[in-house]
Copies of this chain bind each other. A is one copy, B any other.
């Protein structure tokens, strides 16, 4: 076990009919006026918006409406959010949505309190030293942004999809009502599953710890839960227990629990995927379904032991080869693309994608192992 610090202070309020608690939670945290960040109209369609507004009003928490955050969220909208938060003098940020909304809210929370350009946090030129307190009502479950300090934003200038991570960006309170996921499209349910699984596997495949019995067991449990609940949900999107098990697995899968004690590790599949979604605006989970099996294929010999263990414990197969096939097969089964072609990404673009990913490799310090050449070689396996 490697040394680690584990600190995840977010208060999780989980379950049916919990959205109405958000106003009281914000008020008891001492905030009086918040920026209410959300995405498109889905939260108005499914009633979540009205529940949140009613709760804020009941708790006498004033708010400024800030919608129109899109998936693969943009830096330009973050700048607008910072300006709105400053103009309105808010003392907290509420994100109602999934990872894109929460990540935008985090960037706004840090940007409001900073003198530097908020993008400097994403290029690691500056460190977050202050941020407004952050609250979430989760409506798309995948990123675990509701219980970690990470945020991913796309800078339209250069199609750079970069990330920031800070303890100051860990939400104070997150409300997780699994029934908000009922109306999530099947494709997004599938993409979310891919994202959750990939979060866990980046640490599972890439850490340097030889004795990881606790962390491995947790990953196996959560992966099996994600797979079985996704299979259930594609047949019956209104299965509460499946939504609940999925939702809690997604949070636990990337809040630091499954990687505590493993030492440092990189996120190569995410790194490569960020270029796909930055350049082609595809869903992050769809991009991961393309990248992860190709990445696994590329490292088949090097990671043989890990694939064997995963295959045995999660897919009930014997060899590393079978594990890669089982993973890719399941992604196909749930309707996620596993080739560039399926996502309409031209094969000739591989050099451009690899060059874009290599920029992030440099920022993340992965450029020792990932050059534009081997990134291209990995992508070539996703033809």
Contact = CB atoms under 8 A, between A and B. Distances in A.
A299 interface: no
B5 A248 contact: no
B213 A217 contact: no
A46 interface: no
Given A6-B11, A14-B261, 6 more contacts: A3-B16, A5-B11, A6-B12, A214-B245, A214-B252, A218-B221
8 contacts: A5-B14, A213-B245, A214-B248, A217-B221, A217-B222, A217-B224, A218-B221, A220-B221
This chain: copies in complex? 2
A3 B244 CA distance: 10
B11 A7 contact: yes
A249 B214 contact: yes
A13 B261 CA distance: 11
A12 to B, nearest CB: 4
Interface string A261-283: 10000000000000000000000
Nearest to A214: B225
Given A1-B244, A213-B225, A225-B214, A260 B11 contact: no
A9 interface: yes
A4 B11 CA distance: 10
A3 B241 CA distance: 11
Contacts of A220: 217, 221
A12 B7 contact: yes
A59 interface: no
Name, among A7, A13, A214, A257, the residue most crowded by chain B CB atoms within 10 Å (CB to CB).
Answer: A214
